[in-house]
Amino acid sequence: MALKTAEEYLESLSKLRPVVYLFGQKVESVLDHPIIRPSINSVARTYELAHDPLHRDLMTARSNITGEIVNRFTHLHQSTEDLIKKVKMLRLLGQKTGSCFQRCVGMDAINAVDSVTFEMDQELGTEYHKRFRSYLRYVQENDLTVDGAMTDPKGNRSLRPSQQADPDLYLHVVEKKSNGIVVRGAKAHQTGALSSHEILVMPTIAMREDDADYAVSFAVPADTEGIIYVYGRQSCDTRKLEGGCIDVGNARYGGHEALVIFDNVFVPWERVFMCGEYSYAGLLVERFAGYHRQSYGGCKVGVGDVLIGAAALIAEFNGVEKASHIREKIIEMIHLNETLYACGIACSSQGYPTTSGTYLIDLLLANVCKQNVTRFPYEIARLAEDIAGGLLVTAPSEKDLFHPEIGPYVQKYLKGVEGVPTEHRLRVLRLIEGLTLGTHAVGYRTESMHGAGSPQAQRIMISRQANLEHKKALARFLAGIDEEKI
């Protein structure tokens, strides 16, 4: 059984030696850095729950490659049941961590690359799919975390990759050798890059013939020579350096993003899955984006459950839980959250097999799911802030709370209902603050807008997938304009 424990995952990560910069300083150990460690804890939870009898059915699956039980994050979807279980698993992990747990991108990447390489090989006579399946066997047998890397810096958005003044603003092949390729460029906004063993790179947009050098997909170990990580800042991130836990909100778990620089990185041919096949770049982007937009119907819902629970708790601690307007706001939060979940389940239940046998979600419904995610979490967050009250953003620090002289005053004057310690009230407020304004807002609110593509990207796909001509034909027949039944 290829299932790492959480402890084995942490040990395996400690053996990597990535080049990492944070706040202008080189990081010697990502596991020991207080800003980075919570995000690693979130990934460790995905390993821990795979061994929990209560959650094993969601967290694991039988591999169609090895025949063994593997972590679902390394699995190729073989049915609509797999697609549905994926969404349920992501909701569960959102509930357990209250943050981004970072393995979704890699899972969505392996499923997209699998079907696209199969279709490339069928048409072009290449051997990319065989290479990829061999690579995925290695990932499954070692229960590795894969960082799916798609987004390029892009430079001038009005210009195509080959038209940029600086050719490195899109990652591209700079040299082909007998034993592999050399690539240069960067991938931006890379979720969980420092929590991962492997990086699976994909093109970021549809390509034309002039862009062939940019149509590249490959996988490399996360500490490959020439790869440099620049850690992304988050709101309130320096609170993690203060040594406390209340002011962080959720001190146990977190997420992170990084700019990943590829400075003339060598990739052996056996780990190259696309190299110049520009006509397939758009298909790979479309399928990956579809899978990842499905993911948001699970992960954001799970974190939404935590935020709704926190809002209900602070209403109780403030003594207003029975007020009709508070009850209505919480009901609205639940309604919005479950609507997101319904979209995630819907696009999964309408999935279908690709020619490789790997199941794909309904792309239209997946894009509708993500379009809702760009809106509903913002309203859920707004309602949580409304219910929490002004103390959400004016509360003193925990150092004041526990100060020998000032502390008793803080305890006295910031108390809510009798029987609830002031500390508990402030803990819940900080949790809400973190989810709506602080470090965890990156993985909930802001990522809901830009993760898996901008809102406009989903609207473009909705337009493409909606089959408007068929809808017009239905109207023409029922209006009596056309005689032939549809």
Known catalytic membership, residue 299: yes
Last residue of a domain, one of 250, 279, 308: 279
Which of 47, 170, 296, 341 is catalytic? The answer is 296
- The CATH code of the domain that includes 207 is 2.40.110.10
One domain, residues 102 and 122: yes
Structural domain tally of the chain? 2
Known catalytic membership, residue 447: yes
Known catalytic membership, residue 347: no
pLDDT, position 445: 83
Residue 369 placed within a domain: yes
pLDDT, position 13: 98
pLDDT, position 263: 98
pLDDT, position 240: 95
pLDDT tens digits, residue range 401-444?
Answer: 999 999 999 999 999 999 999 999 999 999 999 999 988 878 89
One domain, residues 87 and 218: yes
Residue 117 placed within a domain: yes
Q: What is the largest CA-CA distance in the chain?
A: 86
For the stretch 56-65, contacts whose Cβ atoms lie closer than 8 Å and that sit 24 or more positions apart, written own/partner, are 57/85, 58/85, 58/88, 58/89, 58/92, 59/89, 60/3, 61/85, 63/140, 64/357, 65/133, 65/136, 65/137, 65/140
Q: Is 80 exceeded by the pLDDT of residue 220? A: yes
Bridge pairing between strands 198-201 and 146-149: parallel
The overall average pLDDT reported for the chain is 97
Residue list, annotated binding site? 191
Residues 6+ away with beta carbon under 8 Å from 136: 65, 74, 76, 110, 114
Separation of alpha carbons 178 and 166, rounded Å = 27
Q: What is the arithmetic mean of pLDDT over 122-146?
A: 98
For residue 438, give the amino acid letter: G
Separation of alpha carbons 381 and 388, rounded Å = 10
Can you give the pTM of this predicted structure? 0.96
Residue list, annotated binding site for FAD? 191
One domain, residues 274 and 390: no
One domain, residues 77 and 40: yes
Distance of alpha carbon 46 from the chain centroid: 13
Whole domain around residue 40: which residue ranges? 6-279
Helix (H) or strand (E) holding 460: helix 455-465
For residue 450, give the amino acid letter: H
Which of 60, 77, 97, 100 is catalytic? The answer is 100
As a whole-number percent, the residues of the chain with pLDDT over 90 amount to 95
- The CATH code of the domain that includes 315 is 1.20.140.10
Q: What is the arithmetic mean of pLDDT over 266-272?
A: 98
Q: What is the arithmetic mean of pLDDT over 335-353?
A: 98
Q: Is 80 exceeded by the pLDDT of residue 469? A: yes
Bridge pairing between strands 198-201 and 216-221: antiparallel
Which of 191, 204, 354, 439 is catalytic? The answer is 191
- CA-based nearest residue to 237, from 254, 221, 223: 254
Which of 75, 129, 172, 292 is catalytic? The answer is 292
One domain, residues 378 and 469: yes
pLDDT, position 332: 98
pLDDT, position 295: 98
Give me 80's structure tokens: 């609509």
Assign 345 to helix, strand or coil: helix
Please provide the distance, in angstroms rounded to a whole number, between the alpha carbons at the two ends of the chain: 52
Residue listed under structure tokens 């406009």: 456
One domain, residues 166 and 72: yes
Q: Is 90 exceeded by the pLDDT of residue 157? A: yes
Last residue of a domain, one of 279, 303, 337: 279
Known catalytic membership, residue 343: no
Q: What is the arithmetic mean of pLDDT over 129-153?
A: 98
Beta strands in 204-315 (DSSP E): 216-221, 227-231, 258-268, 272-275
One domain, residues 236 and 258: yes
Which of 104, 275, 343, 369 is catalytic? The answer is 104
pLDDT, position 483: 87
Residue 480 placed within a domain: no
One domain, residues 251 and 306: no
Residue 299 placed within a domain: yes
- Between 171 and 486, residue with greater pLDDT: 171
Q: pLDDT class for 1, splitting at 50, 70, 90?
A: low
One domain, residues 274 and 326: no
